Amino acid sequence: MKFPHSIRWRLQLWYGVLLALLLGGFGVTAYQLESARQLRRIDEELQQRLPVLVKSQRPSRANREIREFSLSPRDAALFDPQGDGAFYYVVWLRHGEPVTRSASAPRDVPEPPPGTPPNRKRGDLRETFLFPGPGDCVLVGRSVSRDLADLRLLAWWLGGVGAAVLLLGLAGGAWLVGRALRPIAEITSAAGKIAGGDLTRRIDTADTGSELGQLAEVLNTTFSRLDAAFTRQARFTADAAHELRTPLAVMLIHLQTGLTSEGLTDEPREAFEASQRAAQRMRRLTESLLALARLDSDTAIHALCDLAPLVRGAVELLRPLALQQEITLEMELRPASGSGNAEQLGQIVTNLVSNAISYNRAGGTVHVKTASEPGTAILTVSDTGQGISPDDLPHIFERFYRADSVRSGSAGRSGLGLAITRAIVEAHGGTLTVTSEPGQGSVFTVRLPGGGEM
């Protein structure tokens, strides 16, 4: 299925985007919380050391104006002499040694301007300071490069775990979506087969608890009603055609008797003849309707039969009609066995050849050919007649459809011949196709499954 229209891919995309956003949001929040916690801890450690520095400055014994700074050995241990992450201090005194710094303190620590916030970050260094008196400042700092490296590692971990969870989530989502949509594919396939003609089939509703199961139930009810309507219609057609047979036979007998009675003048004779033609046409119509009804109920016996002798039989039957219309009948017959009912297959040939004669021009030709391909029997009926217009072509297989241009000139035809032919072909699992060139002729091709050459 194509990407933009597939429900499966759209669900998968939405699910993937949501999962990625959720995991991304979770990862970023976790990282921010951890980095804020680290910074708070470092600031607390720095601030704990500030009071030590403040109390380590006192007035000089020699000159009370001057202040001295000296750390007791215990306090000095709070400031490691060197090493990554070592605490350092810098003390600025207005009256006294201007700058005093621990051994590990960088050379270039600028004095913080009074009034600035008590923490600052300079590159990989974090510093905290205090202004104990006007012009005096004590500062404690340390390198945070190791903490930053830890945070970077945490970021990689979060990214890696997030990507793994995303992949797992996508795979699980694909499986779930596939499982959820599988019934739709099953319903589509079953509905397709039912729409293809097998009205007795039903969708499996084992999963009736879900919404899809309920949909399948609704579709099954619809198909049952369609099936019932279709059966009723077929039965009605068959019953009506059957009931009409007897009165029509009686009418034809009486008309025949009337026509042979003595002393019949021209006027009533013409009326009798017109009535006889009409009754004969009605009989053909009822026969066709009965044939269609029988096909719809499909009770015919199937066997393997060769199309070639069927063509010969049909052509012999129709030769008088061809002669009457000055049509040459040509045959090119190779063995071609199709699986089916001989009587119905004979009807296919008769219908197609009789059309090819009827819709031909005087002096035209009808060419009937049988051939075989592996597993398929092929019958081709071509004529040199008037052809079929592109407007009529899609409709000629419909019941009672007749092209307007020929309607007036072909009394006695019902518009059911091709509908019956197609119904027979389809009931045999075959195909009936037509190509036509108006003014040049038409070619009808029947392909039937079977044994091919006999």
Options 23, 356, 423, 425; binder of ligand ADP; rule CB under 6 A: 356
* Helix %, strand %, coil % of the chain (to 5): 55, 20, 30
Rounded to a whole number of angstroms, the minimum distance from the CB of residue 251 to ligand ADP is 22
Options 322, 432, 442, 446; binder of ligand ADP; rule CB under 6 A: 442
Options 241, 414, 427, 451; binder of ligand ADP; rule CB under 6 A: 414
- 172-201 residues near ligand ADP, rule: CB under 6 A: none
Q: How far apart are CA 325 and CA 323, in angstroms?
A: 5
**Under rule CB under 6 A, residue 385 binds ligand ADP:** yes
- SS3 category, 29: helix
Residues 376 and 339 sit within 8 Å (Cβ to Cβ): no
**Under rule CB under 6 A, residue 355 binds ligand ADP:** yes
**Under rule CB under 6 A, residue 396 binds ligand ADP:** yes
- SS3 category, 141: strand
In the block, tokens 């040694």 appear at 97
Query: What Cα–Cα distance (Å) separates residue 193 from each residue in 8, 59, 227, 432?
Result: 23, 104, 13, 20
Rounded to a whole number of angstroms, the minimum distance from the CB of residue 337 to ligand ADP is 25
Strands 67-69, 57-59: pairing kind: antiparallel
List Cβ neighbours of 307 (8 Å cut-off, separation of 6 or more).
336, 337, 338, 345, 349, 370, 377, 379, 448
**Under rule CB under 6 A, residue 419 binds ligand ADP:** yes
CA 115 from centre of chain:
69
Residues 336 and 374 sit within 8 Å (Cβ to Cβ): no
Rounded to a whole number of angstroms, the minimum distance from the CB of residue 357 to ligand ADP is 8
Specify the residue, 269 or 395, whose C-beta has the smaller distance to ligand ADP.
395
Q: How far apart are CA 315 and CA 303, in angstroms?
A: 22
* Token output for 425: 């072909």
Specify the residue, 339 or 436, whose C-beta has the smaller distance to ligand ADP.
436
Among the residue ranges 178-186, 235-243, 332-340, 351-359, the one whose residues contact ligand ADP (CB under 6 A): 351-359
Specify the residue, 57 or 355, whose C-beta has the smaller distance to ligand ADP.
355
**Under rule CB under 6 A, residue 321 binds ligand ADP:** no
Among the residue ranges 112-120, 171-179, 372-380, 394-402, the one whose residues contact ligand ADP (CB under 6 A): 394-402
* Token output for 374: 């592996």
**Under rule CB under 6 A, residue 143 binds ligand ADP:** no
Cβ neighbours, 10 Å, residue 288: 21
Specify the residue, 201 or 399, whose C-beta has the smaller distance to ligand ADP.
399
Q: Closest by alpha carbon to 338, among 417, 396, 424?
A: 424
In the chain the first and final C-alpha atoms are separated, in Å, by: 43
Backbone dihedral angles phi then psi of residue 215, each to the nearest 5 degrees = -60, -45
**Under rule CB under 6 A, residue 418 binds ligand ADP:** yes
Among the residue ranges 103-111, 140-148, 315-323, 355-363, the one whose residues contact ligand ADP (CB under 6 A): 355-363
**Number of chain positions touching ligand ADP (CB under 6 A):** 21
Rounded to a whole number of angstroms, the minimum distance from the CB of residue 341 to ligand ADP is 20
Among the residue ranges 27-35, 133-141, 322-330, 410-418, the one whose residues contact ligand ADP (CB under 6 A): 410-418
Among the residue ranges 80-88, 155-163, 317-325, 396-404, the one whose residues contact ligand ADP (CB under 6 A): 396-404
Rounded to a whole number of angstroms, the minimum distance from the CB of residue 383 to ligand ADP is 5
Specify the residue, 100 or 355, whose C-beta has the smaller distance to ligand ADP.
355
Residue least distant from ligand ADP (Cβ): 417
**Under rule CB under 6 A, residue 388 binds ligand ADP:** yes
**Under rule CB under 6 A, residue 383 binds ligand ADP:** yes
Rounded to a whole number of angstroms, the minimum distance from the CB of residue 449 to ligand ADP is 24
What count of Cα atoms within 13 Å lies in the side-chain half-sphere of residue 35? 15
Strands 365-373, 376-383: pairing kind: antiparallel
**Under rule CB under 6 A, residue 413 binds ligand ADP:** yes
Rounded to a whole number of angstroms, the minimum distance from the CB of residue 253 to ligand ADP is 26
Cβ neighbours, 10 Å, residue 78: 16
Q: How far apart are CA 128 and CA 123, in angstroms?
A: 14
Options 340, 417, 430, 450; binder of ligand ADP; rule CB under 6 A: 417
Give, to the nearest 10 degrees, the angle between helix 417-427 and helix 266-297.
20
Specify the residue, 128 or 351, whose C-beta has the smaller distance to ligand ADP.
351
Residue ranges in contact with ligand ADP by CB under 6 A: 355-356, 359, 383, 385-388, 396, 401-403, 406, 413-419, 442
